[in-house]
């Protein structure tokens, strides 16, 4: 026993029109379905209306795209004219009150980045290789140029710098396995290095 499967879902609109037209053509004048002539005609009418609606939509879309292009051109032209007027106004006066009186928004003055804050949450763990220790700390989010990290065999040094980079983690290598080391890190900005972190200690792998 056959069972009809309407395989029109998931098709594009033009594909749907073509699919239904195929059914309409084969149903029209089919001697098996003479009692369904009216319904076949109704489907043909609705399918024609669907095709017409899609054609109208495509035409309207084309017009809308043309108008959008005109809008974008007008926007770019207006922005260029605004930049030109702004430059001219700035050439007349740099006085903030006078510029504000002309309706201009003023850029906020940038304050220089001061000293770097102390690096926080320095953690030391055993590295994957012999004579290594992995370090990680909380990142500094403003004004950073680089980090520095150093180690010593006591909490007071003497210190050996082993890392300079922009990531807030690093690995000290070439250490004496089984020896306990002290580690510190600091952030460096335009005003120079900030204070060293509280030390962390770890025995080298």
At residue 127, does pLDDT exceed 80?
yes
Please name which of 152, 144, 148, 128 lies closest in space to residue 200, comparing C-alpha atoms.
Answer: 152
Q: Where are the domains of the chain?
A: 1-109, 123-203
Q: Convert the pLDDT of each residue in 37-84 to its tens digit.
A: 999 999 999 999 999 999 999 999 999 999 989 998 998 898 889 888
Q: Are 155 and 177 in contact (CB under 8 A)?
A: no
Q: Report which listed range, 95-99, 119-123, 191-195, is most confident.
A: 119-123
pLDDT band at 109 (very low <50, low <70, confident <90, very high): low
| pLDDT value of residue 85 | 87
- pLDDT average, residue stretch 6-21: 90
Provide the token pair at 93. Answer: 């006066």
Q: Convert the pLDDT of each residue in 157-201 to its tens digit.
A: 899 999 999 999 999 999 988 889 999 999 998 888 899 999 999
Instruction: Give the predicted TM-score (pTM) of the model.
Output: 0.47
Q: Are 195 and 166 in contact (CB under 8 A)?
A: no
At residue 30, does pLDDT exceed 80?
yes
| pLDDT value of residue 101 | 86
Buried b / exposed e over 28-51, threshold 16 CB at 10 Å, is eeeeeeeeeeeebeebbeebeeeb
User: What's the mean per-residue pLDDT of the chain?
Assistant: 89
| pLDDT value of residue 198 | 93
What is 123-203's CATH number, 1.10.10.10, 1.10.1370.20, 3.90.650.10, 2.60.40.10?
2.60.40.10
| pLDDT value of residue 142 | 83
Q: DSSP string spanning 168-205?
A: SEEEE-SPPTT-EEEEEEEEEETTEE-PPPPPEEEE--
């Amino acid at each position: 026993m056959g069972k009809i499967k309407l395989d029109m879902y998931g098709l594009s609109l033009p594909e749907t029109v073509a699919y239904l037209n195929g059914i309409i053509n084969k149903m029209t004048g089919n001697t098996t379905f003479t009692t369904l002539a009216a319904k076949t005609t109704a489907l043909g009418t609705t399918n024609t209306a669907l095709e017409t609606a899609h054609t109208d939509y495509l035409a309207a879309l084309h017009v809308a795209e043309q108008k959008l292009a005109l809008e974008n051109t007008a926007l770019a032209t207006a922005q260029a004219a605004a930049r030109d007027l702004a430059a001219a106004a700035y050439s007349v006066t740099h006085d903030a009150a006078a510029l504000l009186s002309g309706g201009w928004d003023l850029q906020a003055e940038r304050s220089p980045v001061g000293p770097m804050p102390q690096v926080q949450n320095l953690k030391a763990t055993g590295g994957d290789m012999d004579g290594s220790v992995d370090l990680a700390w909380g990142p500094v989010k403003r004004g950073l140029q680089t980090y520095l990290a150093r180690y010593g065999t006591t909490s007071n040094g003497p210190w050996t710098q082993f890392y300079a980079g922009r990531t807030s983690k690093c690995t000290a290598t070439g250490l004496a396995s089984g020896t306990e080391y002290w580690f510190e890190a600091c952030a460096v900005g335009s005003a120079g290095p900030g204070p060293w972190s509280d030390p962390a200690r770890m025995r080298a792998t």
